[in-house]
Amino acid sequence: MQNEALVQLAIAALEDLKAKDITTIDVRGKTSVTDYMIIASGTSGRHVKSLADNVLEKVREQGRRPLGSEGLDGGEWALLDLGDVVVHVMQEPTRQFYDLERLWQGAEQARAHHSHDEE
């Protein structure tokens, strides 16, 4: 599975369960750790966990093995390492505190901001 397809799969899994403010940042050339970061918000600890679990399930269904995951029990912030794609799912206050978008502001936005607040 190509990186772009993996990004789209993760975004679709997040959208399935109504993640808020999904952002993809292209960090190729900015770090050797990964190529893309996806950042999304959940409305509660349970929502963050459900979003992360759904991404992991969809990735596994495509035969990809996630390299690791952290924070699934706490529900404040989950990190999913899919290799060339890293997914961060956070509750809004945590997302604002860490402000990963600003941290990586030198990186180009790979995809426009998505929001399902209107739904």
Mean pLDDT per 10-residue section of the chain, whose length is 119 residues: 92 98 91 92 96 97 94 92 96 91 62 44
The model's pTM:
0.85
pLDDT for residue 119: 42
| pLDDT at 21 (0 to 100) | 95
Instruction: Name the phi and psi angles at 33, rounded to 5.
Output: -75, -40
* Residue 117 confidence (pLDDT): 44
CA distances from 90 to 4, 73, 83, 84 (A): 22, 13, 19, 20
| CATH architecture of structural domain 3-110 | 2-Layer Sandwich (3.30)
Report the pLDDT value the prediction gives residue 40, as an integer from 0 to 100.
97
Over the chain, what HEC string results?
Answer: CCHHHHHHHHHHHHHHCCCEEEEEEECECCECCCCEEEEEEECCHHHHHHHHHHHHHHHHHCCCCCCEEECCCCCCEEEEECCCEEEEEEEHHHHHHHCHHHHCCCCCEEEEEECCCCC
Predicted local confidence at residue 9, as pLDDT? 97
What is the structure's pLDDT at 98? 85
| Domain range annotation of the chain | 3-110
Spatial contact of 113 and 30, defined as CB atoms under 8 Å apart: no
